[in-house]
Amino acid sequence: MSHRGSRVLRLDALARVEGEAALHLAVRDGTVAEARLRIYEPPRFFEAFLVGRGHGEPPDITSRICGICPVAYQTTACQAIERACGVTVDGPLAQLRRLLYYGEWIESQTLHIHLLHAPDFLGHPSAVELAREHRAAVERGLRIKQAGNTIMEQLGGRAIHPINVRVGGFYHVPAPAELIPLAERLRRAHDDALETVRWVAGFDFPDATYDGPFLAMRDPGRYAIDSGTPAVMTAGAGSNGPAPVRALPVEEFERHVVERQVPHSTALVSELDGHHYLTGSLARYAVSGQWLHPSALDAARAAGLGDPATGAVCRNPFRSIIVRAVEVAHAVAEALRIIDAYEPPSRPYVEVPPCPATGCAATEAPRGLLYHRYAMDADGTLTLARIVPPTAQNQAAIEDDLRRQVQSRLDGPGEPPGDEELTALCERAVRNHDPCISCSAHFLDLTVKRG
């Protein structure tokens, strides 16, 4: 077997050091023999060291899993613990939680759209070159992101790893007047978000289809983020129309979603009833698109995503950038609605007394469905913790997508692709899914083997 075109891409000199992944692609006789996303981020043992901690600690401990989506971890942990203890957090406290979660969605999705994904469509190697040529768009992205950031700081206590969240609610809740400047910022962000939908809708999108099953939270009447029940939309067989959706009660999650170890990755690989599947923006849009905020719904229609009200589904991973942009518009509009209707709760949290029980919950992190399960004894000491993050769930689907896209290129007309073209294609394919390794991949080395 020859070995050429080995290419190493890395951040030099001032690199951050949070996560590591590589892609291994083997092409033999014009056929993709192997596409492996090798995650070699060291194991982090969060599930192990949660055991023995108090039942009030998971929100603070699990928020450290990710600097981009800590609220997803906090919210899911709180819900699972509260469910175990038979406590329901509703009313203004639930609304504030959702507002904080929207802040994270706005930040995370906007970062990916404007600084990481858009350069792929406009022929730029990075956000820096993009900013030189499309300065207004990047400035707009930073403004939207800053609005999400402000929600995080105001409700979470700080922008990274928020500290104001506790089981049962918050340590401190804002007075309505404190949210007025935030609402002003969000109003501008709403216009900006709609403009971003129009911007990304004008990009050129290669043909591609992910036709495996989708998994997303479903809560009829609402574009589910922190409520509802996991639901599976069956494989689409290339259709952009609706496919049957079946509920997967969260209590049964682990019976259907099975994680297994693979030699090439320190992340577990998940399968849903024995098949790879996709969670995240495309899945949410397929399952809940009809319940988007009206302004986001209009934007989606105008952007050519079809009419989600009649069940249009987007299965092209490249077009996920439009879906993310629509989700940002939705999140901003809903955040504004929450602030406009906000009346402070009588107290910042409800008591959650421990009890010997098990509880599980799932919510929609920006990258997809996040599942937690905890068991505790009578004094609240945790005896078990299970966390299934979205990127681990998507790993097999990303590998499938890579195989199909590279194969499609190899089978297509024109000159056979060189390593450079394949590298670019693979990187784009991975970025379409916005994976979060550690959750974060800071070095993506690509090895192409041909034989």
Partner 1 sequence: MTGRVVVIGVGNPFRRDDGAGPAVIEALRARAPEGTVLTDSDGEPGRMLGLWRRQDAVVVVEVVHAHPGQPGRLHTLTAERAARCAVRSASTHALGLGETFALAAALDRMPGELTVHAVEGEDFGLGRGFSTAVADALPELIRHVAKAIDEAHDRLRRASTLADDRGSA
Site residues (CB under 8 A) for partner 1? 9-18, 21, 42, 44, 64, 67-68, 107, 110-112, 115-116, 125-129, 131-132, 135, 138-139, 141-142, 145-146, 149, 159-160, 427, 430-431, 434-437, 440-445
Amino acid identity at 354: P
Q: Which is nearer to partner 1, 79 or 391 (CB)?
A: 391
Q: Which is nearer to partner 1, 61 or 208 (CB)?
A: 61
Q: Which is nearer to partner 1, 127 or 287 (CB)?
A: 127
Q: Work out how close the CB of 158 gets to partner 1 at its nearest, in angstroms, rounded to a whole number.
A: 10
| β-strand pairing of 257-262 with 265-272 | antiparallel
CB of 431 within 8 A of CB of 8? no
CB of 409 within 8 A of CB of 422? yes
Q: Work out how close the CB of 152 gets to partner 1 at its nearest, in angstroms, rounded to a whole number.
A: 10
Helices (H), 344-431: 390-411, 419-431
Phi, psi of 250 (to 5 degrees): -60, -30
426 closest CA partner among 407, 413, 451, 443 = 407
Residues near 445 by beta carbon (within 8 Å), at least 6 away in sequence: 7, 8, 9, 10, 22, 23
CB of 344 within 8 A of CB of 155? no
Q: Work out how close the CB of 229 gets to partner 1 at its nearest, in angstroms, rounded to a whole number.
A: 29
441 closest CA partner among 73, 145, 70, 66 = 66
Q: Which is nearer to partner 1, 127 or 385 (CB)?
A: 127
The DSSP 8-state label assigned to residue 222 in this structure reads B
Q: Work out how close the CB of 77 gets to partner 1 at its nearest, in angstroms, rounded to a whole number.
A: 19
Q: Which is nearer to partner 1, 47 or 445 (CB)?
A: 445
The total of other beta-carbon atoms located within 10 Å of residue 336's CB is 20
Question: Under the phi-then-psi rule, with left for phi > 0, alpha for psi from -120 to 50, and beta for the rest, what region is 304?
Answer: left
Q: Which is nearer to partner 1, 85 or 106 (CB)?
A: 106
Q: Work out how close the CB of 257 gets to partner 1 at its nearest, in angstroms, rounded to a whole number.
A: 23
Q: Which is nearer to partner 1, 174 or 435 (CB)?
A: 435
Q: Work out how close the CB of 47 gets to partner 1 at its nearest, in angstroms, rounded to a whole number.
A: 15
Q: Work out how close the CB of 333 gets to partner 1 at its nearest, in angstroms, rounded to a whole number.
A: 21
Q: Which is nearer to partner 1, 21 or 231 (CB)?
A: 21
Q: Give bridge partners of residue 167 from the DSSP assignment.
A: none
CA-angle at 357, arms to 217 and 51, nearest 5°: 90
Question: Helix (H, G, I), strand (E, B), or coil: what is residue 291?
Answer: helix
Separation of CA 250 from chain center? 18
Q: Work out how close the CB of 438 gets to partner 1 at its nearest, in angstroms, rounded to a whole number.
A: 10
Residue where the block lists tokens 């108090």: 54
d(CA 4, CA 325): 39
Q: Work out how close the CB of 49 gets to partner 1 at its nearest, in angstroms, rounded to a whole number.
A: 11
Q: Which is nearer to partner 1, 231 or 429 (CB)?
A: 429
